[in-house]
């Protein structure tokens, strides 16, 4: 960890300035260094190895596709990719960057209205897609939507290689700058309508490299990537990060815990990433099957705080503790991260220290002043990782990035004198009970200390007397289901009465965003509609 003694909630950038770089130059450098080492291996739904690319072969095919793209799109054009995880998605990511294009990433589960919104809002001139995925008739939806959008001039199936690579002999690659726009990623939508974060080359490449460095991932490591490629975790941290250090990526079409565990055992995978729900499923699978996952050196997670019990289970079952990663799409995406040798309290009660070369501060939401160490305020970040803007939304951009370049995350937190940050809530998720401000993250972190709970989400629900009351939604550990009085007694030992949930609700599955975050607004809606049954007290 960094050895710091701070008096203000401001951590200066550690590790020096980053050198600007393009995605294309990063891949060219990787091919020069790692050559015939395996870069990308395709997994089937059953976990079988399909096509393979060495670093030399990956560069060759990406440059071929980049020339094809350049033959039909001018520099700066926006093109959408609407598909599940596949090698073609990865090729398109690198190729679009080399051709000076902006790739608009689209969730393959989208329906007509959602697809139309993204295509219109991003001003995409083409869509690269698949015909169908898990029952979603994507070609039919794309045709219907694009028939009404004349600005979308091309529709190309990723599986049609003749159409995909057509024009490669004519295409000429333009000069591309590190600060150029390279992707538009739409925010996860945990609270509603998504905004398009415009990201640049340097931010995505250098942030992914910093995560790999913090994890100690290097040449020869092997990663399973089952995270959706339309999100920065899948396409940036795991694809760009792995390429930057010469690791091998096993690209999975979906998250299937039994399949992933088989791949870990057979391929001697060294690094695993997943939101807590995924890690719990992997651990439960290993416990049931007794499979050998001793090759795993690193496990890292994001999306929510990590329960102490999950850290212990991961170390006991997978052989590595869980390093939490904190960030958001607008930050390319990682802002802070744990260190592999952090103690249990830091691993589970904080989100680590700032990632290399990034400034982080805790600021007063009203005055924007930096607060003293330990004071609660808004978590802010500044540096190479900050997005260019929200696409065609200057008002939202001005709210998110202040005049001094600080990205305001919307998360509340505290920083200690060592620069470790703790999340205490969301500015917009704050619960106002009888005029008192309550912060869900504080209650969630306390409840995650319960050995019988795997995941927790706290929301405010309407109450005639108090305005809002606290509702705690919980997913229990296997074989556990504490009753209401026991849960209440547990939290009362840790927090004051007004923070004690009035409603306790067990869930079997969470409403999740495409990136695996819990959609709290849907939990609140389900409660208000009477679709959930709280425990009896």
Per-residue pLDDT tens over the stretch 166-187: 999 999 999 999 999 999 999 8
Per-residue pLDDT tens over the stretch 390-414: 999 999 999 999 999 999 998 889 9
DSSP string, 151-164: T--EEEETT-HHHH
Euclidean distance between CA atoms 123 and 280, whole angstroms: 39
Q: Which two tokens stand for residue 294?
A: 């001793």
For residues 43 and 250, the answer to whether their CB atoms sit within 8 Å is yes
Rounded to 5 degrees, φ, ψ at 7 are -110, -25
Total domain count, the chain: 2
Expressed in angstroms, the distance from the first to the final Cα of the chain is: 45
Euclidean distance between CA atoms 144 and 140, whole angstroms: 6
Euclidean distance between CA atoms 203 and 358, whole angstroms: 11
Euclidean distance between CA atoms 382 and 407, whole angstroms: 6
Per-residue pLDDT tens over the stretch 468-502: 899 999 999 988 899 999 999 999 888 878 889 99
The enclosing domain of 14 has a CATH number of: 3.40.50.12780
Per-residue pLDDT tens over the stretch 345-360: 999 889 999 999 999 9
Q: Are residues 405 and 454 located together in one domain of the fold?
A: no
Euclidean distance between CA atoms 293 and 318, whole angstroms: 6
Q: Are residues 200 and 311 located together in one domain of the fold?
A: yes
Name residue, tokens 């073609």. 88
Q: Are residues 316 and 292 located together in one domain of the fold?
A: yes
Mean pLDDT of the chain: 93
Q: Are residues 106 and 251 located together in one domain of the fold?
A: yes
Q: Which two tokens stand for residue 481?
A: 């289901």
Per-residue pLDDT tens over the stretch 4-61: 999 999 999 999 899 999 999 999 999 999 999 999 999 999 999 999 999 999 999 9
Q: Among 380, 415, 450, where does a domain finish?
A: 415
* Percent of the chain as helix, strand, coil, to the nearest 5: 35, 25, 40
Residues in the chain: 537
Q: What is the pLDDT of residue 190?
A: 44
Closest listed residue to residue 103, CA positions, set 243, 240, 222, 246: 240
Per-residue pLDDT tens over the stretch 96-140: 999 999 999 998 988 898 899 999 999 999 999 999 999 999 999
Q: What is the pLDDT of residue 51?
A: 98
H helix or E strand, kind and range, residue 412: strand 407-415
At residue 191 the predicted structure's pLDDT band, cuts being 50, 70 and 90, is: very low
Euclidean distance between CA atoms 519 and 426, whole angstroms: 13
Name residue, tokens 């055992």. 265
The enclosing domain of 491 has a CATH number of: 3.30.300.30
Burial class (CB in 10 A: 0-12, 13-18, 19+), 292: middle
Instruction: Give the angle 311-255-390 at the CA atoms, nearest 5°.
Output: 90
Ranges of H-type helices in 268-307: 276-289
For residues 32 and 26, the answer to whether their CB atoms sit within 8 Å is no
Q: Among 383, 415, 447, where does a domain finish?
A: 415
For residue 259, pLDDT beyond 70: yes
Other beta carbons less than 10 A from residue 494's beta carbon: 15
Domain residues for 102? 10-415
Q: What is the pLDDT of residue 501?
A: 95
Euclidean distance between CA atoms 373 and 245, whole angstroms: 36
Rounded to 5 degrees, φ, ψ at 400 are -85, -35
Is residue 4, in this structure, part of any structural domain at all? no
Q: Are residues 165 and 238 located together in one domain of the fold?
A: yes
Q: Are residues 39 and 182 located together in one domain of the fold?
A: yes
Per-residue pLDDT tens over the stretch 275-320: 888 898 999 999 999 999 999 999 999 866 677 888 889 999 999 9
Euclidean distance between CA atoms 208 and 213, whole angstroms: 9
What pTM, to 2 d.p., does this model score?
A: 0.84
């Amino acid at each position: 960890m960094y050895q710091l003694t701070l008096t203000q909630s401001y951590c200066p950038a550690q590790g020096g300035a980053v050198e600007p770089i393009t995605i294309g130059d990063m891949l060219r450098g990787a091919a020069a260094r790692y050559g015939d080492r395996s870069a990308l291996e395709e997994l089937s739904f059953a976990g079988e190895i399909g096509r393979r690319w060495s670093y030399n072969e990956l560069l060759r095919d990406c440059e071929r596709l980049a020339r094809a793209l350049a033959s039909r799109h001018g520099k700066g054009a926006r093109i959408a990719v609407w598909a599940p995880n596949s090698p073609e998605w990865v090729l398109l990511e690198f190729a679009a960057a080399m051709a000076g294009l902006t790739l608009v990433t689209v969730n393959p589960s989208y329906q007509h209205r959602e697809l139309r919104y993204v295509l219109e809002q991003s001003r995409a001139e083409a869509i690269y897609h698949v015909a169908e995925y898990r029952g979603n008739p994507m070609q039919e939806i794309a045709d219907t939507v694009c028939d009404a959008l004349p600005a979308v001039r091309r529709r190309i199936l990723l599986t049609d290689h003749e159409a995909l690579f057509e024009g490669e002999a004519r295409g000429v690659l333009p000069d591309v700058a590190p600060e150029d726009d390279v992707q538009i990623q739409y925010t996860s939508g945990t609270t509603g309508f998504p905004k398009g974060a415009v990201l640049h080359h340097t931010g995505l490449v250098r942030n992914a490299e910093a995560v790999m460095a913090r994890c100690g991932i290097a040449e020869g490591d092997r990663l399973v990537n089952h995270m959706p490629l339309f999100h920065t975790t899948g396409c940036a941290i795991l694809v760009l990060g792995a390429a930057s250090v010469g690791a091998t990526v096993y690209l999975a079409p979906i998250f299937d815990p039994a399949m992933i565990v088989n791949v870990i055992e057979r391929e001697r995978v060294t690094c695993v990433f997943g939101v807590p729900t995924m890690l719990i499923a992997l651990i439960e699978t290993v416990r049931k099957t007794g499979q050998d996952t001793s090759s795993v050196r690193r496990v890292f997670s994001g999306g929510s705080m990590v329960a102490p019990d999950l850290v212990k289970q991961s170390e006991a079952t997978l052989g590595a503790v869980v390093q939490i990663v904190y960030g958001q799409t607008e930050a390319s995406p990682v802002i802070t991260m744990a260190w592999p040798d952090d103690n249990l309290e830091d691993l589970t009660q904080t989100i680590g220290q700032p990632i290399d070369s990034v400034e982080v501060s805790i600021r007063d939401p009203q005055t924007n002043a930096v607060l003293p160490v330990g004071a609660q305020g808004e978590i802010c970040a500044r540096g190479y990782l900050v997005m260019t803007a929200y696409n065609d939304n200057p008002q939202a951009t001005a709210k998110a990035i202040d005049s001094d370049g600080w990205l305001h995350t919307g998360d509340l937190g505290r920083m200690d004198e060592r620069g470790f940050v703790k999340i205490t809530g969301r500015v917009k998720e704050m619960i106002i009970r009888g005029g008192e401000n309550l912060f869900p993250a504080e209650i969630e972190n306390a409840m995650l200390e319960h050995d019988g709970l795997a995941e927790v989400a706290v929301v405010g629900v309407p109450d005639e007397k108090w305005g809002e009351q606290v509702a705690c939604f919980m997913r229990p550990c296997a074989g556990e289901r504490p009753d209401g009085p026991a849960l209440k007694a547990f939290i009362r030992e840790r927090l004051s009465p007004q923070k004690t949930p009035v409603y306790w609700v067990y869930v079997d599955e969470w409403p999740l965003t495409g990136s695996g975050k819990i959609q709290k607004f849907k939990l609140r809606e389900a409660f208000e509609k009477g679709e959930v049954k709280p425990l009896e007290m």
